[in-house]
Copies of this chain bind each other. A is one copy, B any other.
């Protein structure tokens, strides 16, 4: 029952390090940041940095986890029971994600667009989305001539999902979250031809 009393100094220092780091990522990109940059911005000694993080990648990992756990929360809260492959459900998730991202848009921009050297971030996001889409999966009943593997389909959906998302960020959100989500759903569900308004012969 001993509440771990973390030294206030530690909390303060860690906070200012992360704050500085987030700012710098958005300003100059991850690669260009030096530990000294972070120390300067956080107004601490460079040495102090090493008291709390192993190195730059370590800090990045921690920050990514922090950021993504918020996204995870957002996604978890989405109503998405039963069959997740129905139109409205997919649409709901995408919309929730897009709106959440809007809250930290420049940071997500830096993480996903500008500096995609920050590879693990995209991968981790995909894992989150994938986990959601995987809920309540129902395999094809019987053998449809078109039946595809579950893995491939999941990958397909997640990739398209992330692609649209990044496109949306990159282009400064040209459509509303609702519009994007709706169009995405339409293509996914009805196929690209019908979605584009082209008649499709059976």
Contact = CB atoms under 8 A, between A and B. Distances in A.
Interface in A108-139: 115-119, 122-123, 138-139
A198 interface: yes
Nearest to A120: B116
A118 B118 CA distance: 10
A152 B180 CA distance: 8
Interface of A: 83, 85, 115-119, 122-123, 138-144, 146-153, 155-160, 162-164, 166-167, 171, 174-175, 180, 183-184, 186-198, 200
B156 A187 contact: yes
A144 B197 contact: yes
A90 to B, nearest CB: 9
A160 B156 contact: yes
A180 B183 CA distance: 25
Nearest to A183: B148
A31 B180 CA distance: 36
Given A162-B159, A164-B156, A197-B147, A189 B192 contact: yes
A111 to B, nearest CB: 12
B117 A148 contact: no
Contacts of A163: 155-156, 158-160, 162-163
A146 B196 CA distance: 7
Contact of A183 (B85, B149, B200): B149
Contacts of A175: 149, 152
Of all A-B residue pairs in the complex, the 3 with the closest CB atoms, nearest first, are A159-B163, A140-B197, A144-B197
